[in-house]
Amino acid sequence: MASKQIASHREGAEIYHGAALCKQKTHELLDHFHLPKGLMPLSNLVEVGFNRTTGFIWLKQHKTFKYWFKDLGVSSYGPQITAFIEDRRMRKLTGVKILIFLWIILILPKSLLRLPWDCQRVFRYSV
């Protein structure tokens, strides 16, 4: 599916090859659209493409890459990552999976749900 999207947006796109150049262009694009540079911590990229008219971006790498974010948990970046990028926003992101760990602490007579990003909820229940 991602390959068909890339083929349809390839015409008129800026395409870059090589690991160092791809990483540099990825950081430049994220900076240009006011997104955090740590959003795509990929170092072994093969190809990066960006179509300015549609806002479509794609990143290709040889194999799946797993990264550990301190606050989120494990994220997995597939061989092809695609998204539509706008100012301060990415939409229709494909090729990225995030596994979020939740810690649940049970305290009677209420339960406290603590999330990794420091949000807490208290649920009251009866036994």
Residue 9 lies in a domain: yes
CA atoms in the 13 A half-sphere facing the CB of 22:
20
The vertex-8 CA angle with 32 and 64, nearest 5°, equals: 65
Burial-class residue 1 by CB neighbours within 10 Å (0-12, 13-18, 19+).
Answer: exposed
Residue 108 lies in a domain: no
Number of domains, the chain: 1
pTM, rounded to two decimals: 0.71
Is the CA virtual torsion 88, 91, 94, 100 positive or negative? positive
What are the pLDDT digits (tens) for 57-97? 999 999 888 888 777 678 888 899 999 999 989 999 898 88
Burial-class residue 101 by CB neighbours within 10 Å (0-12, 13-18, 19+).
Answer: exposed
The values of phi and psi at residue 23, to 5°, are -65, -40
Domain residues for 48? 2-100
Helix (H, G, I), strand (E, B) or coil at 99: strand
Q: Is the pLDDT of residue 127 over 50?
A: no
What are the pLDDT digits (tens) for 101-123? 655 555 555 555 555 555 555 55
Residue 114 lies in a domain: no
Helix (H, G, I), strand (E, B) or coil at 25: helix
- Largest distance between two CA atoms of the chain: 64
Residue 116 lies in a domain: no
Residue 57 lies in a domain: yes
Distances, alpha carbon 47 to alpha carbons 108, 110, 126, in Å: 54, 52, 56
